[in-house]
């Protein structure tokens, strides 16, 4: 059984960082092929599974604001290619912009609660009357990664529709992938890996018997990540310090 693996790189990175803790070494130098193979072997009931194709969808870190991060990422991408951990890279891009939005804090469920006037900062009309319903607006610099979800969806559906794979594994908890994953399940068994410590996105749910059946869901753990690491040296490449 030929299995295609489709990885949302930034969803996986931030998910693994949340699982393992940002300052902790031993999780960034991740062997994607090994990780997928281990999960498939333990979680699926697929017969004779072989990781035939790994597609890594990510974007290059900008060196303008993070020169060391760009260098480390470049070493990692080259190590993934040289080790055979990834078969195809699908590169998105970063978009830098200024966004303006109401100032808010998070409630217990991480939902926004608008910050309204109160002590020690009050808002008044010109005539001195209080304006208790005024909304504070804040402008912030944002850098957003674009394209990974589209690339995951495109490669998944192309490979399934052109019958390059007999089953698929999608590593992402992005609800925007609900439609392409649902379509893939009509044609091949699909495993969905939630790489975050959050609950699985509801739209990515379903039943094992949907479509052709044989589907499964899995939530990544810190042990999964730490036990699927590349060798410290891959050819002439060396794992970055702190990784």
Token pair belonging to 57: 């969808």
pLDDT of the residue at 142: 62
Q: Report pLDDT for 98.
A: 73
Average pLDDT over residues 10-23: 95
What predicted TM-score, i.e. pTM, was given to this entire model?
A: 0.84
CB-CB contact of 225 with 195 (8 Å): no
Straight-line distance from the first to the last Cα atom of the chain, in angstroms, rounded to the nearest whole number:
34
For a pLDDT cut of 90, what percent of the chain falls above it?
A: 71
Mean pLDDT over each residue of the chain, to the nearest integer: 91
Q: How large a percentage of the chain has pLDDT more than 70? A: 95
Phi-psi region of 103 (alpha: psi -120 to 50; beta: other; left: phi over 0): beta
- Tell how far CA 224 is from the center of its chain: 15
Nearest alpha-carbon partner for 212 in 46, 15, 8: 46
State the average pLDDT over residues 191-199. 96
Least confident span in 4-8, 93-97, 163-167, 188-192: 93-97
Is 173 a residue whose pLDDT tops 70?
Answer: yes
- Top-confidence residue, 211 or 65: 211
pLDDT at 106 over 70: yes
More confident residue, 63 or 18: 18
* H or E stretch at 106: strand 104-106
> Residue 14 pLDDT more than 70?
yes
Mean pLDDT, range 87-106, rounded to an integer: 82
Asked if residues 6 and 220 have their Cβ atoms less than 8 Å apart, the reply is no
Q: What is the pLDDT of residue 144?
A: 65
User: Which of residues 103 and 65 earns the better pLDDT score?
Assistant: 103
Instruction: Give me the pLDDT at residue 113, please.
Output: 87
Kindly tell me if the per-residue pLDDT of 156 is higher than 80: yes
Higher pLDDT, 128 or 63: 128
Q: Residue 96's pLDDT is what?
A: 63
Q: So what's the pLDDT on residue 229?
A: 98
The pLDDT of residue 58 is above 80? yes
- Residues with Cβ within 8 Å of residue 129, at least 6 apart in sequence: none
The secondary structure element, H or E, covering residue 8 is: strand 2-8
Select from 81, 26, 68 the least CA-distant residue to 226.
26
């Amino acid at each position: 059984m030929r299995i295609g693996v489709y990885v949302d790189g930034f969803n996986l990175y931030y998910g693994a960082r949340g699982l393992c803790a940002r300052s902790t070494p031993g999780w960034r130098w991740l062997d994607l092929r090994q990780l997928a193979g281990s999960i498939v072997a333990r979680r699926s009931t697929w017969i004779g599974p072989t990781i035939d194709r790994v597609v890594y969808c990510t974007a290059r870190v900008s060196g303008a604001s993070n020169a060391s991060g760009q260098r480390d990422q470049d070493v990692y991408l080259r190590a993934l290619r040289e080790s055979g951990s990834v078969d195809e890279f699908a590169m998105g891009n970063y978009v830098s912009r200024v966004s303006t939005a109401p100032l808010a804090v998070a409630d217990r469920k991480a939902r926004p609660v608008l910050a309204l006037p109160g002590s020690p900062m009050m808002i008044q009309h010109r005539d001195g009357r209080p304006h208790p319903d005024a909304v504070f607006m804040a402008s912030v610099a944002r850098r957003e990664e674009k394209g990974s979800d589209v690339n995951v969806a495109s490669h998944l559906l192309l490979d399934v529709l052109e019958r390059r794979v007999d089953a698929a594994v999608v590593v992402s908890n992005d609800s925007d992938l609900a439609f392409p994953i649902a379509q893939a399940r009509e044609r091949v068994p699909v495993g969905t890996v939630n790489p975050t410590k959050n609950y699985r996105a509801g739209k990515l749910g379903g039943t094992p018997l949907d479509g052709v059946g044989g589907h499964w869901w899995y939530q990544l753990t810190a042990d999964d990540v730490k036990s699927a690491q590349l060798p410290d040296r891959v050819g002439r490449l060396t794992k970055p310090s702190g990784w």
